[in-house]
Amino acid sequence: MFDLTGKAALVTGSTRGIGRAIAEALIAQGARVVISSEDAADTARVAAKLGMPGCPCDVADDAMLAQLVDFTLAELGGLDILVCNAGITGQAGPFAGIDMADYARVMGINLRSQVVLTGLALPHIAARGGGAAVLIASLSALRGNGRINAYALAKAGVAQLARNLAVEWGPRGVRVNAISPGFIATELSGPLLADEAFMARRKAMTPLRRPGTPQEVAGATVFLASAAGAFVTGHNLVVDGGTLITDGS
């Protein structure tokens, strides 16, 4: 039920962290995957290592998103699976006094780019008889936080985008879901992993008492992209070790 042999996939932000783990998991299940990030050299390096086509793309650039989809169709002959993973955290702090230029960049990369890319890609998925899109949201979109501002707001929009698109495209066989990872151990989270006080607090509020791994988010993505998740759409799957549901006791 998890076999993806013969499927064509596109994963944004797939040269490191969660995105790369997702690409590797899809490949392991038999899919062909276009690797992409804003860094051309990084994209070429990872694509070569994984034996897959690579196409650099700044997701804030609509023209480059269109080129990315065109490249995918040309290289893979179609598109069955889309994973919108690329994103940035932006500046931390309260909404009072927020830097609106940073706000615009965070919203543009984390939310607007997914609106544009799904608009470009989903018609091609439908043309293949249906498939799946997975939009990476965040646990921060489901909890209040005094420092995670535009990022959390954008990710909440991503989850709603998945619901709206599920309604819009379901009749054409396209399933659209979101995944909201909790605290995941990646290169970018390295400073927090090294912060003993932060980790003590985070583990105390997480029933599994540990951070997640990129591979655990990738496993959820394979489920949603494969026949195993064939009757799941419009859902926001929380992958957080239980942080959302605990009171910290």
Specify whether the CB–CB gap between 238 and 142 falls below 8 A: yes
Phi/psi for 245 (5° steps) reads -95, -5
Question: Bridge partners of 239?
Answer: 181
Tell me the H-state helices in the chain. Answer: 17-28, 40-50, 62-76, 100-107, 113-127, 150-169, 190-193, 196-204, 214-225
SS3 63: helix
Question: Bridge partners of 184?
Answer: 212
- Order of strands across the sheet with 32-35? 32-35, 8-11, 81-84, 131-136, 174-181, 236-239
- Cα 83 versus chain centre, distance: 6
Candidate list 151, 169, 183, 223, residue with the active-site label: 151
Question: Bridge partners of 238?
Answer: 180
> How many CB atoms are located within 10 Å of the residue 86 CB?
24
SS3 128: coil
Q: Would residue 151 show up in a list of annotated catalytic residues for this protein?
A: yes
Question: Bridge partners of 11?
Answer: 35, 83
Query: Catalytic site residues?
Result: 151
